[in-house]
Structure 1
Amino acid sequence: MLWNLVVGALRTDSSWAVPSWNELVIYELHVGTFCGQGPGGTLPATLDQCVEKLDHLQLLGVNAIELMPVAEFDGNVDWGYTGAYPYAVEQAYGGPDAFKRFVNSCHLRGIAVLLDVVYNHLGPMDLPLWQFDGWSENGLGGIYFYNDERAATPWAHTRLDYSKDHVRAYLHDNLVFWLDTMHCDGLRVDGASWIRMWGGTLNRSGAVYNPEGETLLQELTASAHSLQAPKLMIAEDLQGNESLTTSLDRGGLGFDAQWDGSFAVRTRRFLQAEDDKRSMTDIMAAVLGDGLGSFSRTVYTESHDEASKLRLPEEISPGDPSSWRARKLSALGTALLMVSPGIPQLFQAQEFLAAATFSAGVAILVLWLLLNAGSFALYQDLISLRRNLRGTSRGLTGKGVHAWINDGDKVLGIHRWDVGGPGDDTLVVFNFRQQALTDYRMRWPAPGLWQLAFNSESPQYSDGTASAFAAKNEFRTDDVSFTSLPRSTIHNYAQSAVIDLPPYACLIYTRPSEGRKLTTSITARTYR
């Protein structure tokens, strides 16, 4: 079969080992715009041009790239979700050899490569499989496609017929092609709900269950997990259905993670609200994940979908995305992303607080001039803590999570841990008000010495907008009665501590070993 032709791989990554899922930080990237030359220059960008920017991503600290679809599509400028040739790399991006060079270059820098694939429809333009042998019904696609109402999707009447053996073989072999032949470390399956259901609205109201589609998804995850090297399978389903990440032996679909769209919706709504209108209950639910599991979800505040409408700073302060409020609250959104259970994901240029909406025809080159911006340093430090690169915040990679709120003060506390103890227990405190809170007493998860590992109010992050506000670098907890405090501050920890919270701030505390000196790393500076 044509799609089983083996493309000779440029194998220079034989010693590559994919990072553990609980240590991943993903960066979603659109090849055509990531480093194009801008108006009057060269668009789309190529995979080889993207290789030139990988050192930037390595410096940022991400260890996985999720490429938006690269399968050959009609024309040269597109998001990629109209692919017509699933086995061909878009020629305008450089073709298959450029893709292999890109993957090898990522692996040499310790960065995994995940690929967005589209199996819920094809095209619709320039489809070689359309009416492949001349037969069709109702003017539809013939032997590779549904030829009745099940053909309809929001994008075209080109849904593949998952009941046919040759269709499932075509998609199965495509998965193996990308994961094995082309050395990708995982796949993001676009619009999985449009595979396992048909009909209904965009939010899936009125949709009809499609058992053939579920069978296909189970076969795909089983094949991915049968390969020798570990492969990460992520579903973009957006329905919050736990069956997506339930194991195959328990009757689920076998994905490792699924996009948690509700995290993005809740977080963005929360951050753009006025201080007294913020629902602390809602943001705590977003952090905890509604039962999806600590690492069986991908969490994000921006993806290509959100960024194509409004970038987060613009949504927070319409018309003034560089304002103090937009920058502070965007930073808190990033902190929420990095400390919540799940696999955190960024969208290209988010580390620059990009305000321009995403478009397949507009490059982001201008943002490369901002590499030394304070926002970049903030992202670096948060990613370093999330990945436990300094050996002090293992809890952020663990499954343990306990969150609590004070709705009146707009304070959120999050305790993260793996097994607990020094170097593991991590406590995150947010102040979502414009007013500082001084001498603020709150329960603490463990007794002893604690150190400040991150303060979003650091001048290094703020580009001149930091407040003249001190935060303790180090302290010991104590045992204090809470009988006079509001009920919402009370939880099951016996210890407490007094801290100062700057306005619109996030503080992250970790537990050093007793006798260990206060670290002088970049996340423990002296804050003004």
Structure 2
Amino acid sequence: MSAHATIRLAAAQRRRRCFMLLVMAALLAADLAVAQVADAPLGATVQGQGAARSVVFRVWAPNATKVGVAGDFNGWHADFLQPEPNRPGHWVLESRRARPGDAYRYEMEGLLRRDPRARAVDVDDNKGVIVDSRTYAWGPAANWTMPPKEDLVMYEMHLSTFAAGIPGQGSPFELARKRIPYLKALGINCIQLMPVNEFPGSRSWGYNPSDLFAVESSYGGSTGFRDFIKACHTNGIAVLLDIVHNHYGPDKIAVWQFDQRLSESDGGIYFYRDEERALTEWGPRPDFSREEVRTFILDSVKMFLDEYRVDGFRWDSVHNIRYTQNGQRSNADGDRLLSEANAWMRKNRPAALRIAEDHAFDGGGVGFDAQWNSGFQAELSEFIRSADTLRELSGFATELERLDGFTWVNFAECHDSAGDLNRHHRLPVYIDPSDPNSLRARALSLLANGIVMTVPGFPMMLQGFEMHDTADFSDNIPVPWTRALKTHAGIVQATRDLIHLRRNLKGHTPGLQGEELRVIHLDDDAKVLAYSRRIRNTPRDHATVVVITFSPNPLKQHGVRFPSTGAWFCHFNSGLAAYAKDFDNLGPRPGTGYNLPAGQTTLPLDMSRLSMLVFSKSRPPGATLTKAPYAPEIESPAGREPSEPRPVTDFVEEVLDPFPYVFVPLPAEWHP
């Protein structure tokens, strides 16, 4: 073969190899694109970058024979999705014309439906909006870690009313960010945010969700929510989200009769359709027996954890997930949903909190960390607002000693107990209906908050409680910021001091972060109660002691039993004039110490009426120490007979004891 022929052959072989490589690359790219489409989650998912960017539309519509998607990107002339051969009832389309920000909706044989998984929606126009969640820049907040559970102090926030009274322009999320320094200074490090899913209109408590993947547009939408969480995390504040999956709507629900027209009361593929399970008192109940519905809910949970970086959830009305027929029947489908969601979180987001409003632990539980303690709230409210001479301390002491560990979220008020929709009122109004700003109402409300901050569990307060808000909680009444800044600034300061003690920020009250509570003094005649708080398996000397007087009159040199002899230092006195000019201003100031000599564990104390004192053996800077006056020893209350809980008339989520729970085992094929 000549030299020229050899060169031509080599060149031809090189061209052939290049061609084959190009073909292989094209095939690999095609396979990759197919794989990306196949792996795309349900909804409108943005993939790729620049010229390679596309949007994959996937939807579950098992009763449809044809599904199109119309939007800004195709002039609202539908492009048709294709059925997925390996996923019955699922449809898919990859569009290279669709872009983030484009509005769209599905068309199914005359039905116009917005995407149930759209990250943003226009409910009135029945459209979804494409959102690319990948592009958000978290900055330093990307390194955020959740505070330890024993350090959390929660603040229940309703976004629009929290933001409504804040000066300036912007969405509620933007305005609320202006008050994050206030919450941080107060010591709050966890916001428990009432629902922010899209709902019809612009005003609501949030428990009527229409779109479970979209953030309420009037609040500031998905970007506003991310900005809010980013600001919270940057300032050391966790965000727990209240979510509603026991019912949807009842109005303008995105998934209602999604892929077919039915009778007025039949919700279609996403809802139970039998009479026993179809409805709750607030709206239709999702069909937890269907894998696609459970996946829909679980994917919403994952979305808020992954795309918004929330720090956990409070599940609304678990009762209506785990039970039907007003609690007469347990619902294994609901148990399976909650078990799957909590198991996924425990494995993939172990630091995120899993909180139930109610019925978390029936039948051995379904994986929740904690439950709202509505029963304790009702007991505390009833006790606090009782006539001063009629308070029976022994029964209340029994309630306190039932609290153990971190399985309860404790509060004196919540949106339900203080809300106008339930015809309820704020605690000060119940204490003194004629003058909820009276000395008695202020002292007792502060005392209730002090109890919440010093008992085991997660402490929580409803927005405004720290400033002695007396208006019913409502979706149209703003937080009265002038009270916090002016008229009730002292109560805010007292709340701050309590929170700082609870979080042990100065290192003097570690017992308040412990799991144990033991009543050490009980005088029903004088209305004085004391309990010690400590971390489990630590010495008595490490206890933090809380002394409370429910007496309507100041007390002088009243003997109170302490856990041991030695030096005890005061760290808080709720009766000081620094908190309210008309308080009695009696008793030890923070930094005052008393040395109990050997053989003496009773300390005589002056106390303002309706007040709380907090002591520990940790000496603060600049403290004084004097020998305690002699006092005869007081017998320990440990031998008292436990009292039966008193019936309460205030709000409690479940007025009756739970119906007998019939445990139904999860299917054998289910694995967390």
Same fold (TM > 0.5)? yes
Report the counterpart of residue 19 of structure 1 in structure 2: 147
- Structure 2 residue identity aligned to 1:255: F
Deviations 1:466-514 (CA, angstroms, capped at 9, x unpaired): 215243721112455xxxxxxxxxxxxx83322222211100001126x
- RMSD of Structure 2 on Structure 1 (CA): 2.3
Q: 1:423 to 1:375 in 2, by over 3 A?
A: farther
Question: 2:443 maps to what in 1?
Answer: 328
1:343 equivalent to 2:458? Answer: yes
- Deviation per CA, 1:416-437: give whole Å up to 9, x if none: 0115459942000000011223
2:137 maps to which residue? 10
How many pairs are equivalent? Answer: 486
User: CA separation in 2, counterparts of 1:137 and 1:159?
Assistant: 17
Aligned residue among 557, 560, 567 for 1:449:
567
Query: What's the counterpart of residue 55 of structure 2?
Result: none
Select the residue among 494, 511, 523 that pairs with 1:395: 511
Partner of 1:234: 355
Q: In 1, Cα distance between the equivalents of 2:266 and 2:493?
A: 53
Q: 1:306 aligns with which of 388, 412, 417?
A: 417
Match for 1:296 among 386, 404, 407?
407
Matched residue SS, 1:434 = coil
Bigger relative CO (Cα 8 Å, ≥ 6 apart): 1
**Cα 1:132–1:65 shift into 2, 3 Å:** same
Q: 2:614 aligns with which of 502, 505, 508?
A: 508
Query: Per-residue CA shift, 1:87-114, capped at 9, x if unaligned?
Result: 1000000000000000000001100000
Contact 1:233 1:256 in 2 (8 A): yes
Residues 44/342 of structure 1: CA separation in 2 closer, same or farther (3 Å cut): farther
Structure 1 equivalent of residue 333 of structure 2? 212
Tell me, in whole angstroms, the C-alpha distance in 1 between the residues paired with 2:342 and 2:504: 29
Alignment of 1:13-412 (within 5 A): 13-37=141-165, 46-134=172-260, 136=262, 139-149=265-275, 150-156=277-283, 158-200=284-326, 204=327, 207-228=328-349, 230-237=351-358, 239=359, 242-243=361-362, 251-288=364-401, 290=402, 293-308=404-419, 309-367=424-482, 370=485, 373-404=489-520, 405-412=522-529
Q: Distance in 1 between matches of 2:296 and 2:189?
A: 31
* Residues 518, 37 of structure 1: alpha-carbon distance in 2 compared, 3 angstrom cutoff: closer
- Indicate conservation of the 8 Å contact 2:573/2:587, yes or no: no
Determine if contact 1:26/1:65 at 8 Å carries over to the other structure.
yes
Structure-1 separation of matches of 2:391 and 2:540: 34
Indicate if the aligned counterparts of 1:4 and 1:173 stay in contact, CA closer than 8 A.
no
Q: Percent identity?
A: 34
Report the AA paired with residue 406 of structure 1.
D
Contact map agreement 2:540 2:564 (CA 8 A) in 1: no
Distance apart, 1:457 and its partner CA: 1.1
- The 1:42–1:53 alpha-carbon spacing in structure 2 relative to 1, beyond 3 Å, is closer
Structure 1 residues 14-42: Cα deviation after superposition (integer angstroms, max 9, x where no partner): 2211111111000010111102149xx99
Q: Provide closer, same or farther for how the CA distance between residues 279 and 43 of structure 1 changes in structure 2, counting only shifts above 3 A.
A: farther
- Measured in 2, the distance between the counterparts of 1:196 and 1:185 equals 24
SS at match of 1:306: coil
Contact 1:440 1:499 in 2 (8 A): yes
Distance 2:458 2:484 in 1: 29
Q: Report deviation, 1:86.
A: 0.8
Residues 505, 369 of structure 1: alpha-carbon distance in 2 compared, 3 angstrom cutoff: closer
Distance (whole Å) between structure 1 residues aligned to residue 623 and residue 342 of structure 2: 44
Distance 1:142 1:517, change over 3 A: closer
Q: TM-score, normalising length from structure 2?
A: 0.69
State the one-letter code of the partner of 1:134. Answer: Q
Taking the aligned partners of 1:11 and 1:255, their CA distance within structure 2 comes to 29
Separation (CA, whole Å) in 2 of partners of 1:470 and 1:258:
37
Q: Check the 8 A contact 1:119/1:190 in 2, yes or no.
A: yes
Within-5 A mapping of 1:411-430: 411-418=528-535, 419-420=537-538, 424-430=542-548
For normalisation by structure 1, the TM-score amounts to: 0.87
CA distance in 1, matches of 2:259, 2:315: 28
Structure-2 change in CA distance of 1:320 and 1:160 (3 Å): same
Give the distance between the partners of 1:368 and 1:438, measured in 2 at CA. Answer: 33
Superposition deviation, residue 208 in structure 1 = 1.4
Separation in structure 2 between the aligned mates of residue 135 and residue 394 of structure 1, nearest angstrom:
61
Matches within 5 A, 1:473-484: 473-478=592-597
Map Cα deviations across residues 272-324 of structure 1 (whole Å, 9 max, x no partner).
11112112133223323x36x32110000111112212111111000201101
Give the residue type in structure 2 aligned to 1:170: F
Q: Call closer, same or farther: CA 1:142–1:51 in 2, change over 3 Å.
A: same
Give the C-alpha shift of residue 58 in structure 1. Answer: 0.6
Partner residue of 1:525? none
Query: 1:220 Cα shift?
Result: 1.1
- Give the deviation of 1:518 after TM superposition: 4.2
Q: Is the 8 A contact 1:54 1:106 kept in 2?
A: yes
- Say which SS state the counterpart of residue 331 (structure 1) adopts: helix
Q: 1:423–1:108: structure 2 CA closer, same or farther, 3 Å change rule?
A: farther
Question: 2:614 and 2:392 mapped to 1: Cα distance?
Answer: 22
Deviation at 1:228, TM superposition (A): 4.3
Of residues 43-52 and 408-417 in structure 1, the stretch that sits farther from structure 2 once superposed is: 43-52
CA contact (8 A) 1:70 1:89 kept: yes
Q: SS state of the match for residue 335, structure 1?
A: helix
Q: Residues 87 and 280 from structure 1, CA distance in 2 versus in 1: closer, same or farther, beyond 3 angstroms?
A: same
Deviations, residues 107-128 of structure 1 (Å, cap 9, x unaligned): 0110000000001001111112
Larger Rg: 2
Q: Which moved more, 1:326-335 or 1:415-424?
A: 415-424
Whole-angstrom CA distance in 1 between matches of 2:577 and 2:538: 31
How far apart are the structure 2 equivalents of 1:45 and 1:370?
Answer: 23
1:61-96 per-residue CA deviation (whole Å, 9 max, x = no partner) reads 100001100000000000100011011000000000
For residue 458 of structure 1, the aligned residue among 545, 557, 576 is 576
Once the two structures are TM-superposed, the CA of residue 459 in structure 1 deviates from its matched residue by 1.4
The offset of 1:373, in angstroms, is: 1.1
The superposition leaves residues 185-216 of structure 1 with CA deviations (integer Å, 9 ceiling, x where unpaired) of 0100000111000112xxx4xx2111111111
Give the SS at the match of 1:427.
strand
1:431 correspondence with 2:537 = no
AA of the residue aligned to 2:472: T
Structure 1: 5+ residue runs without aligned partners?
A: 245-250, 481-493, 521-528
Aligned equivalents of 1:112, 1:409: Cα separation in 2 = 41
Higher alpha-carbon deviation: 129-138 or 327-336: 129-138
